[in-house]
């Protein structure tokens, strides 16, 4: 019986990188496609996000309830049970009232964006003597403007805010992944 060499079946690093970059580029195309669709139909994307969040809350609530009855002290059991019930209630609300949940998420999103803008202004004042701190202030002002626009135009901003922002995020993520994948392929081409 003949033995095979130990190196048989191993691939060169360039082959492995090529295979990985193919999947990276494919996933980039998926991100770009989903981002484009979310920007074209932001309300459909927002409802999809609400359903995703609803199911995640339901599963998270169930996990907390299982954890609550897994042992521990009374305080731990009560805390996990309370969190589990709140998660379940939120998840069921999202799943049974998706349009209201989109409005709720939009208000939460506006609040988070406004809070981020305020924190960035505070960070600017702490770092204004450092180089390029003007960019931090510009980012803070744009963030405050975006959060303010969503907040002031609520509830009508619910129709576009979540879906559009997620779509832009997916689009940017897709393009950055695409450029990274193409650059990695370019780097390994001479090595192969």
Nearest to 161 by CA among 104, 94, 121, 85: 104
Cβ-proximal residues to 31 (8 Å cutoff; 6+ apart), any chain: 170, 171, 173, 174, 177
Which residues of the chain are under the pLDDT cut of 70?
A: 1-14, 71, 131, 188-192
For residues 45 and 52, give the distance between their C-alpha atoms in angstroms, rounded to a whole number. Answer: 10
For the chain, the domains span 13-191
pLDDT in the model for residue 51: 95
Q: What is the pLDDT, as a whole number, of residue 1?
A: 53
Single out the residue of 162, 150, 153 nearest to residue 48, CA to CA. 162
Contacts of residue 54, defined as CB under 8 A and 6 or more positions apart, other chains included, come to 90, 91, 92, 93, 94, 95, 98, 101
Predicted pLDDT of residue 56: 94
Which pTM value belongs to this model? 0.69
pLDDT in tens, 104-139: 888 988 898 889 889 888 888 888 777 677 777 888
In this prediction, residue 11 carries a pLDDT of 66
């Amino acid at each position: 019986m003949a033995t095979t060499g130990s190196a048989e079946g191993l691939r060169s690093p360039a082959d492995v990188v090529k295979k990985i970059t193919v999947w990276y580029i494919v996933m980039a195309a998926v991100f770009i496609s989903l981002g484009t669709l979310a920007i074209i139909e932001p309300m459909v994307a927002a409802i999809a996000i609400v359903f995703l969040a609803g199911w995640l809350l339901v599963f998270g609530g169930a996990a907390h309830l299982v954890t609550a009855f897994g042992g521990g002290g009374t305080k731990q059991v009560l805390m996990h049970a309370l969190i589990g019930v709140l998660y379940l209630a939120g998840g069921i609300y999202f799943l049974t009232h998706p349009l209201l949940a989109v409005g709720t998420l939009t208000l939460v999103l506006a609040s988070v964006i406004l809070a981020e803008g305020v924190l960035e202004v505070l960070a600017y004042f702490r770092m204004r003597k450092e180089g390029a701190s003007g960019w931090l202030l510009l980012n803070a002002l744009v963030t405050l403007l975006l959060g303010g626009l969503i907040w002031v135009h609520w509830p009508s901003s619910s129709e576009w805010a979540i879906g559009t922002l997620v779509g832009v995020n997916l689009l940017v993520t897709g393009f950055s992944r695409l450029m990274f994948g193409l650059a990695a392929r370019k780097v390994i081409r001479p090595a192969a």
